[in-house]
């Protein structure tokens, strides 16, 4: 855990591989298996209709755009890609639009 925190500045500069993005490892380990990856379409979105002081904590600091280069690779490898989101159950139209944008 501490190693991850200490390496973060080096990851941002591109000097160290980000081990929180293990797609290469997944593809190797899951070779010939039908894998599904769910991508988060919006960073910084805590959701609609979320009451409470800590609702903002639900938001992610990343989204599918941060792994854009892997989307094409995963598609070529036969992986299924889906959109995951906090509001998926109430805003399916929003999710479908973002999925089309990501894959085009």
Domain count, the chain: 1
Q: 35 with 41: CB under 8 angstroms?
A: no
On whether residue 59 sits in a domain, the answer given is: yes
| Average pLDDT of the residues in 5-28 | 75
On whether residue 85 sits in a domain, the answer given is: yes
pLDDT digits (tens, 9 = 90+) for 38-88: 888 778 877 777 778 887 787 878 888 888 888 888 888 888 888 777 666
On whether residue 42 sits in a domain, the answer given is: yes
Domain holding 60, by residue range, is 18-103
On whether residue 1 sits in a domain, the answer given is: no
Give the predicted TM-score (pTM) of the model. Answer: 0.61
On whether residue 13 sits in a domain, the answer given is: no
């Amino acid at each position: 855990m501490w190693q991850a925190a200490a390496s973060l500045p080096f990851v941002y500069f591109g000097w160290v591989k980000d081990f929180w993005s293990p797609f290469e490892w997944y593809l190797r380990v899951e070779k010939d298996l039908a894998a599904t990856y769910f991508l988060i379409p919006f960073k910084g979105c805590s959701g609609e209709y979320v009451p409470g002081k800590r609702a903002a904590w639900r938001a992610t600091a990343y989204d599918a755009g941060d792994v854009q280069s892997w989307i094409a690779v995963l598609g070529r490898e036969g992986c299924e890609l889906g959109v995951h989101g906090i509001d998926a159950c109430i805003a399916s139209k929003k999710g479908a639009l973002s999925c089309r944008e990501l894959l085009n």
